Chains A and B, each alone.
Chain A
Amino acid sequence: MSMDRIVVAGASLGGLRTAEALRHEGFAGELIVIGAEHHFPPYDRPPFSKEILKGEWEADRGRLKVIEHLNAELVLGRRIVKLHHALSEVELDDGSRISFDGLVIATGASPRMLASIDASTPGVFVLRTYDESVALREALAKSPKVAIIGAGWIGCEVAATCRGYGLDVTLIEYFPQPLERTLGPVMGEWAAEVHRRHGVDLRLGVGVKGISGQGAVERVELEDGSFVEADVVVLAVGVAPETSWLEGNDFDLENGVLCDETLLVKGANNVVAVGDVVRWPNAMFNKVMRVEHWSNAVEQASVAAHTLLHGPSEAKSYVAVPYVWSDQYDLKIQYVGTAGAFHSVFEGSIEDNKFVAGYEADGMLVGALCVNSPARMIKYKRFISTHPQIEDISANLP
């Protein structure tokens, strides 16, 4: 498909890597990259809850590297408010419109809010952008009592970082265990013990009723009637895909923008999507899924760029064993695969904080939690892609 102009909607990891992949594939036309944030090169997000929040890196470290000859027009600090698909135009928040021959949707996801909390209250933070990470770091420097709402990957990392500062931390989670959505209840309990051992005050299985304070937040009220004193509240209850701008174009926008296996948006022939915003059929697990992790954005970028330039006949499918990592205290936590039911610890020892635990679904190994075992993790990533039967798995481990 010959295109004169491609618009990349989103200037973070997914958008940037897709723009680069388009050039790498020989696209010589006009490239316009539109992003809501002002920083370019964009800051990579994983350090926002780790190195940058800990103050370990000097100012410019943490920016993504960009290829030398990207030759893209950058439209930064602008939100796209609407896609007019039939007109092949995007409309920006300043009223301007940009037309395209091809479009990459890479608008990612934004922090979910709780209806019971006014997130603009002084002392309340979300953590998605570089500026938010710096603002939170500055707040932590004042030795506040910290309450974190949500014990998912981000909430747990922020808790660990705050404990590294020696701060009082209360970690509040609606589910019975931290990380339960990915790790399940058994390994979730392991995660709970890790945080307790490091001095985190855990409030599990309880929702948040609201916050209160004079001028700034002073406490969080929980649904069991108890209160958590806090000067800093971090709202870490997940992210929602940024798809409102795509409404009205006959796309399927349930939990992300639905694509086919080549990352072509369903209902379009010149629109692809990449990253946190994408829901696509992952043939690896015969499941339609949305993955919110770094490696997914990077890997999808290459596939989507190829699909956009070469059309359906030459497009390749994105088939993957997802990978997510999390650094908490002295633990390198890595999960490969998709969520399943905890099966058993396959190797290593929980007591030594060095182990691999397997997860199954439909009679097959579909996931592996690897702690302080990076060399083993990669073997399991490959192993999972062979769809090994869970029955007798211990005899067949990689």
Chain B
Amino acid sequence: MKITLNLDLCAGHGQCEDAAPEVFSVSDEGLVVQLIEDPGEEYRAQVEDAARRCPADVITVE
């Protein structure tokens, strides 16, 4: 699936890592890092959950 991250908005809430720890991680700089470039459909529910739970609206999923 296609994931777009708007890093300018990222504020290090980390809820993405909490929702989809195999796909997202918070770096030491406090910004989201995407761990899998093109995650398979088996990750969709988690990734959509991560997008909803991000207070800064960083993640867009197609």
Which A residues are closer than 8 A to B by beta carbons?
17, 44, 46, 65, 294-295, 298-299, 302, 323, 325, 327, 332, 334, 374-375, 377-378, 381-382
Residue of A nearest to B31 (CB): A374
25 contacts between A and B (CB under 8 A): A44-B55, A46-B55, A295-B15, A295-B53, A295-B55, A298-B52, A298-B53, A299-B53, A302-B49, A323-B15, A325-B11, A325-B55, A327-B11, A332-B11, A374-B26, A375-B25, A375-B26, A375-B27, A375-B28, A377-B12, A377-B14, A378-B14, A378-B18, A381-B18, A382-B18
Q: Bin chain B's interface residue count.
A: 10 to 19
Chain A binding surface, main DSSP class: helix
List of B residues within 8 angstroms of A294 by Cβ? 55
Min C-beta distance of A106 to chain B, whole Å = 16
List of B residues within 8 angstroms of A65 by Cβ? 57
Residue of A nearest to B10 (CB): A374
B55/A374 in contact, CB under 8 A: no
Which B residues are closer than 8 A to A by beta carbons?
11-15, 17-18, 25-28, 30, 49, 52-53, 55, 57
Min C-beta distance of B8 to chain A, whole Å = 13
Considering the chains assembled together, what is the distance between the CA atoms of A381 and B21 in angstroms? 12
Considering the chains assembled together, what is the distance between the CA atoms of A273 and B12 in angstroms? 29
Min C-beta distance of B58 to chain A, whole Å = 12
Given contacts A381-B18, A382-B18, contact A374 B53 (CB under 8 A): no
Min C-beta distance of A300 to chain B, whole Å = 12
4 A-B pairs with least C-beta separation: A374-B12, A378-B14, A374-B30, A375-B26
List of A residues within 8 angstroms of B15 by Cβ? 295, 323
Given contacts A17-B52, A298-B53, A382-B18, contact A325 B30 (CB under 8 A): no
A375/B14 in contact, CB under 8 A: yes
